[in-house]
Structures are given as structure tokens and as C-alpha cells.
Amino acid sequence: MQHRYGRSKEDYFILRQKARRLRRTGNSYQEIIHKLKLSKSTVSRWCRDIKLSPTQIEVLGKRYDTQLRGARANRVKRQKEIEIIQKTARKEIRRPNREMLKMAGAMLYWAEGNKTNHLGLTNSNPAMIIFMVNWFEKFLNIKPNQLKAHLHLHDGQNEKKIKRYWSKLTQVPENRFGKTYIKPEGTGHRKNKLYNGTIRISMYNKNLLYKVLAWIDQYQKYVTSR
């Protein structure tokens, strides 16, 4: 009789005997799983009645400590590699001039911004929102107190507290915040609640939208031209 994975009843009997023999000789569950290609639940079910001796337990503990130290050393080594990569990459970026910042904001708007009806961008990342608020002021002469803001929250989040948070961060006055959209529970929305929700900052000015879209179009032509 064939079981799943193409193993017969006899195969499982042989594997069970091997697993129990390995356990009796002091192998850990993980070692048995690796050697015999079995699931953790299967090894646990087959070997849970086998008691290891104090000496075997001590050996397993020392082996685990060695593995833990090795994993920690690898993490430290990898972190140093990442730091070198990042340090080198930062040197590749010179101080951005006005045109570079203008392009950066336009590209960000291309990816995340509203393309119809009005100028606006929705996101949950505070750094991105701050960048775009500053970008609107620097390149479109839109002051924070001219922007409108709307929050998207999950049911149960503290609307007043979160509104204060975003208002302080963006310098958009609280009285410039429109009605908050609350996502009700049990409607198929994501369950992992964003701590401070999502904010949409906007300016109902189609002329400014057309201006930004024209910038994006021009940058796109520069990149794709041959």
C-alpha cells in the first residue's frame, strides 16, 4: 500500500525504527528530521516515549550552544557586510540639487500619487508623507495649512490621537482634516492594523495636477529616449 510521498507501509516501519534508534543514541529531533526527511510532528510522535540520559541531554545542550554561537557570529558578520554596502552606497550619492529633488518628488508622485481630479497622495509611511508635504511647498508653493487631509483607519483605532499625530507631523491643521474613513471589521480588509493608519494629503487644484503630470511625462521621455 502506497502512502503520500510514495512511501509504503514498510518504508514507514523502517523509518520509524531508524528514527527511534537515532533518538536513543542522543540525536535531537532536528537532527533526525534532517537525516530522515521527516516532519517534526512525525518524529515527535514516534520518539516522545524515549527518555534521554542526563549525559545525552548535556551533550545536546552543548551542541545547541555551539550552534547558537555560530548563528550569532554569522549574524554579526552579515551585519558588518551590510554596513559596508550601505557606507559605499551613500558615497555614491552626492548632495541633491534642486532639479534632483524635483525629479525625486515627481517620480514618487508618479508611483503613489493621484492622477485624476486633484493633486493628492495616500500613504502610511511618515517619512514619505513628510517628504511630499515639503516637496509640495518647495516646488508647487503649497503651504501645509493649504492642504486637506483624510485618514483611513481600522475600527477600534483612536481617531483623535492619530489625527493629532499626523497634524503635528505634517503641520496640516486639524481643522483641515476631512471625514475619516473607518474600515469596519469582517469586511475582508487586511487584519494587520497600521498603527497610525493611512493618510491622504491633497490639494484640489487641477492646474497643479496637470503641471506635475507634465513634469512626469517629460522625465519619462528623457529616460526612454534613445
**pLDDT value at 1 more than 50:** no
Return the DSSP state at 94: P
Q: Is the pLDDT of residue 2 over 50?
A: no
177, β-bridge pairs: 149
Is residue 121 a part of any domain in this protein?
yes
Grouping H, G, I as helix, E, B as strand and the rest as coil, residue 151 is: strand
Strands 119-123 and 148-154: unpaired
Q: Is it the case that residue 189 has pLDDT exceeding 60? A: no
Cβ contacts of 115 within 8 Å, gap of 6 or more: 209, 213
Same domain, 137 and 205: yes
**Tens digits of residue pLDDT in 30-88:** 899 999 988 989 999 999 999 988 888 888 888 888 888 888 999 999 999 999 999 99
Judge whether residue 204 has pLDDT over 60.
yes
pTM over 0.85: no
Q: What is the mean pLDDT of the chain?
A: 89
Whether the CB-CB separation of 190 and 167 falls below 8 Å is answered with: no
Residue 8: domain span: 4-51
CB 181 within 8 A of CB 150: yes
Identify whether the C-beta of residue 27 lies closer than 8 Å to the C-beta of residue 19.
no
What CATH number is associated with residue 16?
1.10.10
- Using DSSP bridges, classify how beta strands 181-183 and 148-154 pair: parallel, antiparallel or unpaired: parallel
- Give the contacts of 6 (CB within 8 A, at least 6 positions apart): none
Whole-angstrom Cα distance, residue 177 to residue 179? 7
Coil vs helix vs strand at 1: coil
Contact 187, 154 (CB under 8 A): no
Chain segment 131-152, per-residue pLDDT in tens: 999 999 999 999 999 999 999 9
Q: What does the pLDDT look like over 98-112, one tens digit per residue?
A: 999 999 999 999 999
- Mean pLDDT over 17-39 rounds to 90
- Tell whether 78 is covered by a domain: no
CB 50 within 8 A of CB 84: no
User: What is the percentage of the chain residues whose pLDDT exceeds 70?
Assistant: 92
Whether 61 is covered by a domain: the verdict is no
Q: Which three cell numbers stand for residue 204?
A: 484640489
Give yes or no for residue 226 having a pLDDT over 80: no
* Rounded Cα–Cα distance for residues 111 and 211 (Å): 16
Instruction: Supply the angle between the helices 159-170 and 126-140 in degrees, to the nearest 10.
Output: 40
134, 195: one domain: yes
The verdict on 108 and 220 lying in the same domain is yes
Task: Provide the domain count of the chain.
Answer: 2
